[in-house]
Amino acid sequence: MDLNELYNKLIAEGCNRFFIEGVGGPQKDDVELLAYHNGKWEVAYTERGKRSNPMFSTTDQQEAIRYYYDHVIRQQHMHLVTFTRSAAISDLYKAELEGLNLKVIQNDIPHYKELGDRIFRLFVINKDIFTAKKKMINIPYYDEDLKRY
């Protein structure tokens, strides 16, 4: 498997917390990273622009790809479904997602801009995002004033 095939395979599995140097990823920060550095393929974590020490290192690209795939696929990849101040909207989406037999994670922000400014956030995991997007419209849902998030 080459790096582009690895990227496509991870996307097809619903992964969103990865970045492959030279190919890209859904996001660049707070992700598992595969990079070629000083003659070695390294797997590390990057957070806020800082790379951790490698958790795995090898000169063999295929060995690195296999390790990286197995490592990333074991992670929980949360996909945002709602970002709203409305409990009613959040409840509607949650009921519809659960009606599709999808696991829903609610992780609210109790004090977004000020004390008591609650944001209701719903997430689905890994491949469930494909079912959610296929069966529901307007995913992810944002309140109009929160779209810059």
Q: pLDDT tens-digit profile of 86-96? A: 999 999 999 99
If asked whether residues 82 and 138 sit together in one domain, one would say yes
Three-class secondary structure of residue 139 per DSSP:
coil
| Alpha carbon distance 16, 64 (integer Å) | 19
Q: Which of 136, 122, 57, 58 is nearest to 84 (CA)?
A: 122
If asked whether residues 58 and 120 sit together in one domain, one would say no
If asked whether residues 114 and 128 sit together in one domain, one would say yes
Q: Stretch 9-23: mean pLDDT, rounded?
A: 96
Q: What is the mean pLDDT of the chain?
A: 95
pLDDT for 38-76, tens place per residue? 999 999 999 988 999 999 999 999 999 999 999 999 999
Contact (CB, 8 A) for 132 and 139 = yes
If asked whether residues 61 and 82 sit together in one domain, one would say no
Last residue of a domain, one of 73, 102, 122: 73
pLDDT for 74-115, tens place per residue? 999 999 999 999 999 999 999 999 999 999 999 999 999 999
Burial of 23 (0-12, 13-18, 19+ CB in 10 A): middle
Last residue of a domain, one of 27, 57, 73: 73
Considering Cα of 48, then 42, then 53, then 15, what sign does the dihedral take?
Answer: positive
| Alpha carbon distance 9, 87 (integer Å) | 36
If asked whether residues 83 and 62 sit together in one domain, one would say no
Per the structure, the complete domain to which residue 10 belongs is given by 3-73
If asked whether residues 64 and 85 sit together in one domain, one would say no
Give me the number of domains the chain comprises. Answer: 2
Last residue of a domain, one of 73, 101, 130: 73
Three-class secondary structure of residue 62 per DSSP:
helix
